[in-house]
């Protein structure tokens, strides 16, 4: 039995679980050429009586790029397995999208691959493995990525909260034996039992009272939908998935994030706060203090006006166009989904046979990548896809290389997304303009669902 969250807390409460003080992430910006080493790392969340936990990560903690500035990222693979890196949310050339087997050959151990692109959008993004993803993401192979606005945005502090959910075994190591469990793959995916923020257990984040913080939140979990509850204070949503809102919106209630979704917030730290103020994760029955703000006194001013919007990114005007194609995408399968058969690698299979191939989800009757694209578009075409969640599970659908708008009631109108949460039974029309030519994925970012079939691709030509 894996350690559950409560047991982990009990262990932590024995006092031997070292709690880090302060978490200013090391931010590296190295001009237009960055070296990024993918390597093993260790974390010590459980305290000194346990062996440190073996994870995978990178030699930098945050990538900081500049909008409209070309960059060359030399990715060196010092891991024992092949891999590739996907720049999630960046609208870049297809050859740089980092999907092994589709847009590039995997980077073998000891090899390097140079990714070259110019980020056109400022905002909060991340880079993560796109090779054997359900295993490599569970081991931690990702990095948050900030693309700075061309003109600086005025805030007192700029913080990241990267939420992740890890599965540890009784020995306090990553539970690798449970990777690939078909029961989990056919349900909500693989859930962890330890929540970290910025790869630390209950970190303390230094802030000054009376200041304005830009808070960038990312859900890096394999499958868990997170809900972040901030202490009662003034907070506004500035951007979602890297794309600014036209007008910042007051945050009400908890902030729900499907895996891979990001939000940028403005949070005003009240002048009267001091000491530890918890930030809760509330998606489970257990309201859990994922991190604490450690508030120090200051003479900063109080009584702020609402924040101004972020400068816009160069997004297409969808309303001015007529759709070139309107298609349906039916999501099927999973536990209690009633899927009888689906095509897998061009062969029609009964469910029993699909499961032998570790497949249990389908899009338009096809499990995993079809041999022909879902659609073929030309650069500049407006595409509409009506996505119908005919399953008993929520999914977080991610479109590669493009942002889209959706008529979902869950989200504020007019938002741009690269990842969209859809509840069971929900229908949503997404619209986007086909951009860079190439082969692009559309898949569920509950990564076990993707591995078990919920992935397709489309083609853009000039």
Pick the closer one to Cu ion by CB: 11 or 430. Answer: 430
Pick the closer one to Cu ion by CB: 221 or 446. Answer: 446
| Residue 327 half-sphere exposure toward CB, CA atoms < 13 A | 15
| Residue 194 to residue 168: CA distance in whole angstroms | 7
Binding of Cu ion at residue 224 (CB under 5 A)?
no
DSSP state for residue 414 in the 8-state scheme: T
Pick the closer one to Cu ion by CB: 131 or 449. Answer: 449
Q: Of the listed pieces 40-48, 86-94, 196-204, 390-398, which binds Cu ion according to CB under 5 A?
A: 390-398
Q: Of the listed pieces 101-109, 131-139, 175-183, 387-395, which binds Cu ion according to CB under 5 A?
A: 387-395
Q: Left (φ > 0), alpha (ψ -120 to 50) or beta: where does 346 sit?
A: left
Shortest reach from residue 55's CB to Cu ion, in Å: 24
Shortest reach from residue 449's CB to Cu ion, in Å: 3
The continuous run of DSSP H or E covering 451 comes out as: helix 447-451
Shortest reach from residue 354's CB to Cu ion, in Å: 16
HEC secondary structure over 121-167: CCEEEEEEECCCHHHHHHCCCEEEEEEECCCCCCCCEEEEEEEEEEC
| Residue 98 to residue 88: CA distance in whole angstroms | 9
| Residue 415 to residue 401: CA distance in whole angstroms | 17
Shortest reach from residue 189's CB to Cu ion, in Å: 7
Shortest reach from residue 45's CB to Cu ion, in Å: 28
Pick the closer one to Cu ion by CB: 395 or 402. Answer: 395
Shortest reach from residue 186's CB to Cu ion, in Å: 11
Binding mask 426-445 toward Cu ion (x if CB under 5 A, else -) reads ------------------x-
Binding of Cu ion at residue 446 (CB under 5 A)?
yes
Of 159, 395, 400, 417, the one binding Cu ion (CB under 5 A) is 395
Task: Confirm if 298 and 210 have CB atoms less than 8 A apart.
Answer: yes
Pick the closer one to Cu ion by CB: 91 or 130. Answer: 130
Binding of Cu ion at residue 262 (CB under 5 A)?
no
Pick the closer one to Cu ion by CB: 417 or 449. Answer: 449
| Residue 260 to residue 243: CA distance in whole angstroms | 14
Shortest reach from residue 447's CB to Cu ion, in Å: 9
Shortest reach from residue 338's CB to Cu ion, in Å: 16
Binding of Cu ion at residue 190 (CB under 5 A)?
no
Number of residues binding to Cu ion, judged by CB under 5 A: 4
**381: Cβ–Cβ under 8 A, 6 or more apart, which residues?**
324, 325, 433, 434
Pick the closer one to Cu ion by CB: 342 or 446. Answer: 446
The string of DSSP codes covering 44-112 is -TT-TTSPPEEEEEES-SEEEEETT--EEEEEEE-SSS-B-EEEET----GGGS--BTTTB--B-TT-E
Task: Confirm if 148 and 123 have CB atoms less than 8 A apart.
Answer: no
Compute the CA torsion angle 401, 405, 411, 417 (nearest 10 deg). 10
Pick the closer one to Cu ion by CB: 224 or 262. Answer: 224
Shortest reach from residue 363's CB to Cu ion, in Å: 10
Binding of Cu ion at residue 449 (CB under 5 A)?
yes
Pick the closer one to Cu ion by CB: 184 or 435. Answer: 184
Binding residues for Cu ion, per CB under 5 A?
395, 444, 446, 449
């Amino acid at each position: 039995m894996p350690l559950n969250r409560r047991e982990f807390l009990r262990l932590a409460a024995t006092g031997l679980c070292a709690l880090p003080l302060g978490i200013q992430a090391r931010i590296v910006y190295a001009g237009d050429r960055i070296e990024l080493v993918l390597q093993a790392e260790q974390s010590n969340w459980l305290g000194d009586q346990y062996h440190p936990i073996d994870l995978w990560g990178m030699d930098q903690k945050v990538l900081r790029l500049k909008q409209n500035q070309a960059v060359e990222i030399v990715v060196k693979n010092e891991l024992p397995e092949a891999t590739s890196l996907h720049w999630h949310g960046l609208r870049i050339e297809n050859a740089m999208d980092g999907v092994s087997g589709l847009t590039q050959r995997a980077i073998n151990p000891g090899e390097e691959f140079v990714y070259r692109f110019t980020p056109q959008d400022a905002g909060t993004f991340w880079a993560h493995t796109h090779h054997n993803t359900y295993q490599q993401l569970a081991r931690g192979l990702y990095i948050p990525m900030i693309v700075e606005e061309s003109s600086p945005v005025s805030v007192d502090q700029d913080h990241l909260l990267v939420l992740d959910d890890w599965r540890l075994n009784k020995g306090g190591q990553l539970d690798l034996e449970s990777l690939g469990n078909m029961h989990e793959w056919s349900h909500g995916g693989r859930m962890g039992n330890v929540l970290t923020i910025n790869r630390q257990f209950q970190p303390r984040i230094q802030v000054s009272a009376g200041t304005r913080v830009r808070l960038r939140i990312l859900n890096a979990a394999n499958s868990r939908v997170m809900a972040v509850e901030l202490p009662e204070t003034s907070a506004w949503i500035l951007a979602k998935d890297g794309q600014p809102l036209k007008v910042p919106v007051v945050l009400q209630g908890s902030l729900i994030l499907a895996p891979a979704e990001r939000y940028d917030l403005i949070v005003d730290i009240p002048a009267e706060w001091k000491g530890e103020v918890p930030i809760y994760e509330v998606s489970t029955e257990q309201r859990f203090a994922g991190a604490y703000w450690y508030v120090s006194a200051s003479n900063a001013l109080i009584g702020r006006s609402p924040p101004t919007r972020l400068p816009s990114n160069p997004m297409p005007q969808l309303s001015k166009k007529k759709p070139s194609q309107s298609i349906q995408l039916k999501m099927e399968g999973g536990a209690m989904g009633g899927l009888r058969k689906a095509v897998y690698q061009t062969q029609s299979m009964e469910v029993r046979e699909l499961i032998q191939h570790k497949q249990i989800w389908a899009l338009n009757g096809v499990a995993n990548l079809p041999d022909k694209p879902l659609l073929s578009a030309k650069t500049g075409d407006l595409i509409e896809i009506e996505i119908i969640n005919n399953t008993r599970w929520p999914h977080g659908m991610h479109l590669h290389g493009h942002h889209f708008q959706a008529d979902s009631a869950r989200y504020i109108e007019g938002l741009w997304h690269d990842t969209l949460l859809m509840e069971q039974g929900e229908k949503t029309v997404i619209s986007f303009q086909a951009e860079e030519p190439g082969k692009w994925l559309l898949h569920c970012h509950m990564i076990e669902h993707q591995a078990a079939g919920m992935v397709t691709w489309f083609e853009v030509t000039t």
